[in-house]
Amino acid sequence: MRNRPFSRFSLLVAAAGALAAAAFALAPLKAAEDAVVIPPPASDVPAADGIQTVVLSGGCFWGVQGVFQHTAGVVSAVSGYSGGSKANAQYELVSTGTTGHAESVQVKYDPQKISYGKILQIFFSVAHDPTQLNRQGPDSGTQYRSAIFTTSDAQKKVADAYIVQLDGAKVYPKPIVTKVGSLEAFYPAESYHQDYLTLHPSQPYIAYNDLPKIENLKKLFAANYQEKPTLVRSVSN
């Protein structure tokens, strides 16, 4: 992975992280990517009984996971990898950008409390910028691509139609590059990646790139925001 300003790789190095933390303490908090106000999808998946699943990729999984852990109606949001094989679903390998994986978040939600369409609206609005090709903010490579891995034909149909709707409405200055495809497999990431935003709120990468996403969720989707996150360790215990 390329070493670059505010990148996750460089900030995981302890010495660099300490120096960056001091710099960020003196700088105002600022979102690397601004949220975009967008309309809800014109069509949605009908509410059904039982927990539903969709896997979303939009850059570093720390921030995407954090957003959906603060989304009411989501019963779990787990960071992991999709798009490659089980054999190379490891952070060190995925980070090379050669495994076919995308950093992803498995979102399980209660359709009686939040719709699939609302999940997509939050994903496109505050969780990431869907117009960035094979990158997101400071991170670049195919592992940071924008993608929706669906678990039903109805989910895929709604996602495809929503992208056409948003592009037609020109709510973004550039076309959406998000790829939509059926989920083949999801592999949970290492335990140290889970609940990362909640456990490390003062980490410079989180403070600069991801905490503003939570504030945008609270501001733009107040009815869907929950203050207490649904953490992986709480669900698994």
Q: Which residues are identified as catalytic?
A: 60
Residue recorded with tokens 């014109």: 42
Q: Read off φ and ψ for residue 29, nearest 5 degrees.
A: -65, 130
